[in-house]
Amino acid sequence: TILSNQIAAGEVVERPASVVKELVENSIDAKSSEIDVTVENSGLKLIKVVDDGNGIDSSQVQTAFLRHATSKISEQRDLFRVRTLGFRGEALPSISSVANVRMKTSTGSIGTEVEYKGGKLVTQKASESRKGTTVEVASLFYNTPARLKYLSSPNTELSKISDIVNRLALSHPEIAFSFISNGRELLRTSGRGDLRQVLGAIYGVKTVSKMAAIKGNDLDIKVSGYVSLPELTRSSRNYISLILNGRFIRNFPLTKAVIAGYGSKLMIGRFPIAVIKIDADPALIDVNVHPTKQEVRISDEPMIGKLIANAIYDMLRDKQL
């Protein structure tokens, strides 16, 4: 029902940035090679995500807006080897219950356009056949004034959106991202799979020139990425990004492992800029811990931590730092 979707929205759709995250994750899951994100007024007026992914067949479009309808896992054991970013089937019904949503989607033949207002379908018609999906979310939280009231300033909400898009772009250098806010381009990546290029687009070329590649391997686990040299630090841990199997995660022990890799080479209270990619067998990871899926359980976390710390240590030693 619309009410239970609004309740779920309380967990999944906290703020405009959460909407952007869910929509872009859907575009990534749909195997897009290009994803364009546009927002107006920090996402409150409009959030638009255009992708060139697989699209949704016209017979499945309404289903996609039903709670717990996911095309991504079909049996229980799939839950223990999730390879997609989504799998709970909550985002579209939640978002459409607290906004006006228009979706145009096509698998390559005749497309479909639907419009939902406050969770109710108001239009469905045939649409253009360009393969891919466009989702427009307008008037977010228009029917949940309490939620609106708890948002931060427009600038803070915009920087949260920007953060999310940056992280998604870092997680997927093989996808060309663009991010435009009130007509201003804030990010553009090439989609050529070059993590260094994405880092440059986000942090600037000068910053990236003070970062070095790291690498580590174990039987089931691969670690790679870029970390800043000890001369380049920040006063917050927020510049340490962890990407596990293409999913941006928060994980304190692994964040500490990054810092530990520098040994005594960092000043107290200073932290590196780092993007650490971890590739592991999905069976070792439980992503079904929290609705936003940023927290995951990893078996063998200490081992991954050692791998990360050693990879950084080795890089610094090779550079005689």
Question: Which residues make up the interface to Mg ion (CB under 5 A)?
Answer: 26, 86, 91
Structure tokens at 230: 């000890």
Contact indicator for 170, 247 with CB cutoff of 8 Å: no
**101 to 160, contacts with ligand ADP by CB under 6 A?**
133
Asked if 52 touches ligand ADP (CB under 6 A), the answer is: no
Name the amino acid, one letter, at 8. Answer: A
Cβ 182 to ligand ADP shortest distance, Å: 23
CB nearer ligand ADP, residue 112 or residue 144: 112
Asked if 18 touches ligand ADP (CB under 6 A), the answer is: no
CB nearer Mg ion, residue 21 or residue 272: 21
CB nearer Mg ion, residue 11 or residue 185: 11
Q: CB under 5 to 8 A by kind: which of ligand ADP, Mg ion, none does 162 bind?
A: none
Contact indicator for 202, 165 with CB cutoff of 8 Å: no
Please select the residue that binds ligand ADP; options are 19, 20, 92, 315, rule is CB under 6 A: 92
The neighbouring-strand residues paired with 226 are: 213, 275
Tell me how far apart the alpha carbons of residues 125 and 136 are, in angstroms, rounded to a whole number.
16
CB nearer ligand ADP, residue 161 or residue 309: 161
CA dihedral angle for residue 251, residue 252, residue 253, residue 254, rounded to 10 degrees? 50
- SS3 category, 233: strand
Cβ 109 to ligand ADP shortest distance, Å: 15
Q: CB under 5 to 8 A by kind: which of Mg ion, ligand ADP, none does 88 bind?
A: ligand ADP
DSSP letters for 250-281: --HHHHHHHHHTTTT-SPTT-EE-EEEEEEE-
Q: CB under 5 to 8 A by kind: which of Mg ion, ligand ADP, none does 186 bind?
A: none
Tell me how far apart the alpha carbons of residues 120 and 2 are, in angstroms, rounded to a whole number.
8
Asked if 6 touches ligand ADP (CB under 6 A), the answer is: no
CB nearer ligand ADP, residue 50 or residue 240: 50
